Amino acid sequence: MEDLKDKIDLSRLPRHIAIIMDGNGRWAKEKGEDRLFGHFHGVESVRNIVEGCAELGIGYLTLYAFSTENWDRPENEVNGLMALLVDTIRREVDTLNKNNIKMHVIGDMNLLPKYAFDELEEAREMTSQNTGLNLVMALSYSSRWELLNAVKNIALDVQSGKVNPQLINYDTLEKYLCTSDFPDPELMIRTSGEYRISNFLLYQLAYAELYFTNTRWPDFRKDNLYEAILDFQGRERRFGKITEQLHVSS
């Protein structure tokens, strides 16, 4: 693992990494356990990857923890996930503060049970003065919900005269997104062998490098993170230009 870490160019780190933490249920099923067993062990992966990003000096890490579509899962799994979320946050806040990590939440938090909402609000407040890694938890989140919500709010502000519709541009839209305070992700990682984005940061991932791995989330550790970053650093990010243009501008 240290050999992989030593190969990383710290001057070319992705400023923002987004991760779809997939495979908890399948990991558990392969071991003859219920799905919550997989989610429980996925928490250790979260802890390990957050630590790894903080150690490297990554600025932002967004974790897709629970989508709006996940509310349609069996009730016992949803209730178990909410209880696990609250318990994990309660136990980890001191560690976040110790490591200067600031926690944010994006998503429709009004759908969360009150006890989960209150716990998240308390954790955000307790870590609000930290200046290191920004840990963004995407909870009760979907990108289509986010975009629809942004359009509705822009329409309301146009109606009230706060926004001139003739002046609406990309910057306007971005101010109404959940991620308005964060840079767009440069690297998106999805675990467990699925090759889709699943309604995650559709607007923000427009120019992100996408990295897919067969590793199930409960098995994903720092060395897997380092491999993804090294893969990212081996790519040429052209943003619609050609290679020759990049070389001239550099």
Cβ(84)–Cβ(91) below 8 Å: no
Verify whether residue 118 is a known catalytic residue.
Answer: no
Reading the block at residue 102, the tokens are: 């600031």
Verify whether residue 181 is a known catalytic residue.
Answer: no
Listed as own residue / partner, the contacts of 9-14 with beta carbons closer than 8 Å and 24 or more positions apart are 9/233, 10/56, 10/57, 12/233, 13/56, 13/57, 13/58, 13/229, 14/58, 14/185, 14/186, 14/187, 14/209, 14/229, 14/232
The secondary structure element, H or E, covering residue 136 is strand 134-141
Reading the block at residue 169, the tokens are: 């541009």
How far apart are alpha carbons 233 and 140 in whole angstroms?
A: 32
Cβ(36)–Cβ(77) below 8 Å: yes
- Residue among 34, 48, 70, 149 flagged as catalytic: 70
- Residue among 22, 24, 134, 224 flagged as catalytic: 22
**Which residues are the active-site residues?**
22, 70
